[in-house]
Amino acid sequence: MGGLANGVLGLWLAAAGSPVVDATEVVEDLVVDMRYATPDNFLKQKVYPDGARCLLLPQTAERLKKAADTLRAQGYRLKVYDCYRPIAVQWQMWKIMPKPGYVANPKKGGNHNRGAAVDLTLVTADGAEVEMPTPFDSFERAAHHGYQGGTKASREHREILRAAMEGAGFKRNAMEWWHYDLPGATKLPVLDVPFSAK
């Protein structure tokens, strides 16, 4: 794993005038749980460096703030699992699951690679987890937005998140309750920016 991490880190080049912002500087009460900086993800390995931040395009971060403001009034906060994703990590994911719809083909790049997608969930005002239909990164039917099984509470929480995110101008991913995109994101460039603060 050390070789992979070092190889991936070598591809994260510093660039002056970064096109992305740290989402925690826009959404001050954002909870950050970058799952790919831990082994707690579908890859079962750490592929982000320690100190990985939730980086987003400014317009993505501003929409996230709008959603967070809406949810705060309802007693919730947002917790992010993934934001900007380096293209080298996209290749690693594609090797494990080359399944469009779940993992973007790295030849084209996905919206995470553009800073234009965010994976997230709800937590209470004090940061406690709320029930959702599935865990993050679940590739089962229960993760789909149209799924009507599971508990009433899990479906209600999914809908509260969806309403806030779509109300802020995001587009949902039909197969992943946690994934939201900036409209028109596929027309934006794939980025290569540093993860960690200097």
Could you give the CA distance from residue 111 to residue 183 in angstroms, rounded to a whole number?
Answer: 10
Whether 176 is a known active-site residue: answer yes
With 0-12 / 13-18 / 19 or more C-beta atoms within 10 angstroms meaning exposed / middle / buried, residue 50 is exposed
Q: Which residues pair with 180 in a beta bridge?
A: 118, 172
When computed from its CA atoms, the radius of gyration of the chain, rounded to whole angstroms, is 16
**What is the average pLDDT value for the chain, to the nearest integer?**
89
- The predicted-structure confidence for 101-146, as pLDDT tens digits, reads as follows 788 899 999 999 999 999 999 999 999 999 999 999 998 999 999 9
pTM for the whole thing? 0.88
- The predicted-structure confidence for 1-44, as pLDDT tens digits, reads as follows 333 333 232 233 333 357 999 999 999 999 999 999 999 998 88
Domains of the chain: 21-187 (3.30.1380.10)
Please tell me whether 119 is known to bind a ligand.
yes
Q: Which residues pair with 76 in a beta bridge?
A: 124
Helix %, strand %, coil % of the chain (to 5):
35, 15, 50
* CB proximity list for 107: less than 8 A, separation 6 or greater: none
Amino acid, res. 42: F
What integer pLDDT is reported at residue 195 of this predicted model? 77
